[in-house]
Chains A and B, each alone.
Chain A
Amino acid sequence: MLQLPIATHALANGLRVVLSEDHATPIVAVNLWYHVGSANEREGRTGFAHLFEHMLFQGSEHVAANEHFELVQRAGGTLNGSTWLDRTNYYETLPSHQLELALWLEADRMGRLLPAMTQEKLDTQRDVVKNERRWSVDNQPYGTWWERLPAICFPPSHPYHHSLIGSMDDLSAASLEDVAEFFRTYYTPDNAVLSIAGDFEPAAALAMVERHFGPIPRGNGHPALRPMDLPPRFGEWRREVVEDDVVAARSFLAFRVPPCGSEPWYALSLLGAVLGSGEGARLPRALVREARLASDAGAFTFDLTKGADLLICDVTGRQGVPLATLLEALVAQVEQVRADGVSEEERARALALLESGWLLQLQSAGHRADKLSQFATYFGDPQRINTELARYQAVTTAQLHAAARQYLGADNRVSLSYVPRVSAEVAA
């Protein structure tokens, strides 16, 4: 099996550094994870972690607005950032002789962001994010699913309940002081992991890291998250039906499962692949190929790391197929797995796809750096990049069956369904 070389270091200010050398091509990836996501937002300020991600490209003491993008692209590199419920990441991949540029840019905004912040920049990015919301949520068929589903699955007081991209009202209410407070609280070296993967010399790279990040002071800590413990199951089947500008019904069926990375989670993640990864998986085979009720079907975990995760099946009906028929067929497949388990062949198929998918992704230096940051941030152990597949390989068909029986029952389901606006009455 593939073994990536991994070395870890910690700076005096708490910044964790993960290095993985590979000199095959002259490319290097820099990846910085901050352990802050939408779950850390306070009420009335939803969408802030993501809005803040935009602000991090608006310059810092020695970098002008949008110049971060320009300098990296001028160096022949690619870059971006993303926000999730549990974390925010920022990353660059560049020709390897430009490594120090990426480290300097990341350090300048971690250490010296606030001198560059202005009300005008905040107002502009707030409008950009509102346009992002219109583009990806409001003006998209089924586009509201990724805020509606967590809202049903987690109680209102829970950090995962609210929208990641935020409401228009909360975005409007964000102030420059909110930006400063959020930055001082969470964007500190002791709340971050810096990974470097690809073509670099470790001693030289560490010296650069120390030079640029070393002087940044440790943070003052941050408030604890609101309680995230939940009962292991929903305890009932909660259903919601939404009318939307869509041509066919779509259902999301979610189950509450243990958090991403926990021991039982691997069986549930593999079960998701058995159900929904690839055309030969249970759901596409049964619903798309055989019954011809659906045009698309899949299953996946949401990969939440605190308290509980979700295993989600999603299925899109063919035009004219009533929601009830579609949902019934989906549930029948779930019930069948609970009753009879899965075959060794199905387990092997899902595992083979997972293994090769893993290998294909690791071709990219950027992806290797991202996984290292992820494992270090969530589990304190970047070495898990080398043992992750073994965790999946150890899952037996008996464990898959047990996981299905334990978590996929009628006492642990949320269904969010979309129906074409005109036929809503028929569907209900």
Chain B
Amino acid sequence: MSAGTRPVPAAVRPYQFPEVHHATLPNGLRLVVAPMHRLPIVTALALVDVGAASDPADRDGLVALTARTLDEGTGALDGAELTARFEGMGTAFEAGADWDSTLARVTVTPARLDAAFALFADVLRAPSFPDEDVDRKREERLEDLAQQVAEPRGLADMRFTSALYGGARYGSPAGGSPRSVGGLGATDVRACHARHYGPATTTLILVGDISVDVALRLAEARFGDWRTEATEGVTRAATPSVERQRTVVVAKADAPQSELRIGHVGLPRRHPDHLAVVVMNAILGGLFSSRINLNLRERHAFTYGASSGFDWRRGAGPFVVSTAVKTDVTDRAVQEILREIDAMRAAPPTGDELSLAVDYLAGVFPLRFESTSAVAGAIAGAVVHALPEDWFRSYRDRVRAVSAADVHRVAQAHLDPARLLVLAVGDAAAIEAPLAALAHGTMQVVPATHDFAEPQ
């Protein structure tokens, strides 16, 4: 082979997603075990079937606050002592809620698993939720929100979803808004735990250097006698009443860049077009070599990077194109993005584009699962969305089965220029007039402090 001759790939070596075993304890708690014996590490992940989309009306952020306050005490141990116990074992108790579920996780060496798992179970089953610690966690959430609003990217994300979904649950952050979080207290958190945490709503996922037998014994020992009346969360209505072309400028004086968010409501994870949409999005803006990134970054040098994505939830999450561009090219960047969305709908992708997306998604699959934590997270996602039993085994074949015609069809079905919201966080004095000239629907300029989800 001479210099310049591209190498030919060697024979493909087989890859199998770790074998997944299922069991159910007599009290209803589901157990999933995936042995991976490469390194002495085990991840224990508890998935509780309640997410932010199930927050009670006017209690946005409650499910997330409950998750974040779990490790503030159990039995005789207070929060500081719990932290010290976990960290002394080289791990941390991590818990949080996303839109559809609550996840709690520890990762330890097998030698420390018994002790860490016992503590993990105590924290999940009998958290004490001291008043003052719930208050502190609520204050910390408010501090986080203030930091996020001061940061152009965080501000753009928040204002985009609130403008898109309005007063529907997806319109305010999963962790709640300043107004809703301010009203939460220890009584709410205890009630949320009592209502939703229990064997009927929990799936325990153990991944790593552990056998199925040991996993069963551990689960039985620490969760076998768990009895509660817990019920799963009920998803609140997710879609807004009206979508139409709109342009919104969130004014941030003298900003050197405009943070852009362009998109509309997407589709739920369990939609039959899911995989074809993933491939379509890879071509549009999901990959470095995607149309939007190559156009905005490499052809026009408007940005450091531009991407698009669908947020996959039980309800219809957003489709959004995100980028940050130099102030004086804001309107041209918007125009290019709108043009790429139109082009995606106008014709099927080329063979090269399709094969790049499909080969990447199929080929990168094993790379996504190098760690116990990543495998546990993937299994949790399969549980949340009730994916078919063979999902991981057949994933690559199903990706490869997506055709150019499929991509074209789903682009027409799920990209809709008539509904696109264009939002820019930037120097209004410089970008308002050029954006207005694009005449993309109604034009609104609002201050950075304005919150769409709250009364105007």
Let me know if B11 is at the binding interface, CB within 8 A.
yes
B143 neighbours in A (Cβ, 8 Å) = 248, 295, 318-319
Q: Which of B225-233, B299-307, B336-344 has 4 or more CB atoms under 8 Å from chain A?
A: B299-307
A365 neighbours in B (Cβ, 8 Å) = 370
> Once bound together, how far apart are the Cα atoms of A26 and B40, in whole Å?
20
A136 neighbours in B (Cβ, 8 Å) = 304
Let me know if B21 is at the binding interface, CB within 8 A.
no
> Once bound together, how far apart are the Cα atoms of A319 and B146, in whole Å?
8
Q: Is there contact, CB below 8 Å, between B83 and A279? A: yes
> Once bound together, how far apart are the Cα atoms of A134 and B255, in whole Å?
9
> Once bound together, how far apart are the Cα atoms of A141 and B152, in whole Å?
9
Residue of A nearest to B426 (CB): A139
Q: Is there contact, CB below 8 Å, between A99 and B257? A: no
Let me know if B433 is at the binding interface, CB within 8 A.
no
User: How many chain B residues touch the partner (CB < 8 A)?
Assistant: 72
> Once bound together, how far apart are the Cα atoms of A199 and B90, in whole Å?
29
Let me know if B445 is at the binding interface, CB within 8 A.
no
Let me know if A355 is at the binding interface, CB within 8 A.
yes
Quote the shortest CB–CB distance from A331 to chain B (angstroms): 22
A316 neighbours in B (Cβ, 8 Å) = 147
> Once bound together, how far apart are the Cα atoms of A129 and B365, in whole Å?
31
A25 neighbours in B (Cβ, 8 Å) = 15, 38, 366, 370
> Once bound together, how far apart are the Cα atoms of A176 and B436, in whole Å?
39
Given A280-B83, A349-B87, A355-B90, A73 and B147 touching (CB < 8 A)?
A: no
Let me know if B362 is at the binding interface, CB within 8 A.
yes
> Once bound together, how far apart are the Cα atoms of A349 and B3, in whole Å?
53
B256 neighbours in A (Cβ, 8 Å) = 134, 138-139
Q: Is there contact, CB below 8 Å, between B364 and A76? A: yes
Quote the shortest CB–CB distance from A125 to chain B (angstroms): 8
> Once bound together, how far apart are the Cα atoms of A248 and B148, in whole Å?
12
> Once bound together, how far apart are the Cα atoms of A107 and B298, in whole Å?
23
Q: Mark B1-40, 1 if CB is under 8 A from A, else 0.
A: 1011011111111110000000000000000000000111
Q: Is there contact, CB below 8 Å, between B152 and A139? A: yes
Residue of B nearest to A348 (CB): B88
A247 neighbours in B (Cβ, 8 Å) = 146-147, 149-150
Residue of A nearest to B82 (CB): A280
> Once bound together, how far apart are the Cα atoms of A136 and B288, in whole Å?
19
> Which one of A27, A128, A345 contacts B366 once the chains associate, using CB atoms below 8 Å?
A27
Q: Is there contact, CB below 8 Å, between A131 and B360? A: no
Quote the shortest CB–CB distance from A160 to chain B (angstroms): 24
Q: Mark B29-71, 1 if CB is under 8 A from A, else 0.
A: 0000000001111000000000000000000000000000000
Let me know if A108 is at the binding interface, CB within 8 A.
yes
Residue of B nearest to A279 (CB): B83
Q: Is there contact, CB below 8 Å, between A95 and B366? A: yes
Let me know if A364 is at the binding interface, CB within 8 A.
yes
Residue of A nearest to B72 (CB): A289
Interface size class of A (residues with CB under 8 A): 35 or more
Residue of A nearest to B136 (CB): A292
Q: Is there contact, CB below 8 Å, between B151 and A95? A: no
> Once bound together, how far apart are the Cα atoms of A395 and B107, in whole Å?
25
Q: Which of A59-67, A219-227, A234-242, A334-342 has 4 or more CB atoms under 8 Å from chain B?
A: A59-67
Q: Mark B341-370, 1 if CB is under 8 A from A, else 0.
A: 000000000000001100110111111001
Let me know if A399 is at the binding interface, CB within 8 A.
no
Given A25-B366, A97-B11, A100-B10, A66 and B289 touching (CB < 8 A)?
A: yes
Quote the shortest CB–CB distance from A270 to chain B (angstroms): 14
Let me know if B92 is at the binding interface, CB within 8 A.
yes
Using A96-B13, A289-B79 as known contacts, list a sample of 11 further A-B pairs with CB atoms less than 8 Å apart, ordered by residue number in A: A61-B4, A66-B294, A69-B289, A95-B367, A98-B363, A247-B146, A279-B83, A280-B80, A280-B84, A345-B84, A353-B91
Q: Which residues of B contact A (CB under 8 A)?
A: 1, 3-4, 6-15, 38-41, 79-80, 83-84, 87-92, 107-109, 136, 139-140, 143-144, 146-147, 149-152, 255-257, 259, 287-289, 294, 297-298, 301-304, 324-326, 355-356, 359-360, 362-367, 370-373
Question: What would be 9 A-B contacts, judged by CB atoms less than 8 Å apart?
Answer: A27-B366, A76-B367, A77-B364, A124-B301, A128-B301, A134-B304, A280-B80, A295-B140, A356-B90
The 4 closest A-B pairs by CB, nearest first: A76-B363, A356-B90, A127-B301, A352-B90
Q: Which residues of A contact B (CB under 8 A)?
A: 2, 22, 24-27, 61-62, 65-66, 69-70, 73-78, 93-101, 103-104, 107-108, 111-112, 123-125, 127-132, 134-136, 138-141, 199, 208, 211-212, 215, 245-248, 278-280, 285, 288-289, 292, 295, 316, 318-319, 345, 348-349, 352-353, 355-357, 359-360, 362-365
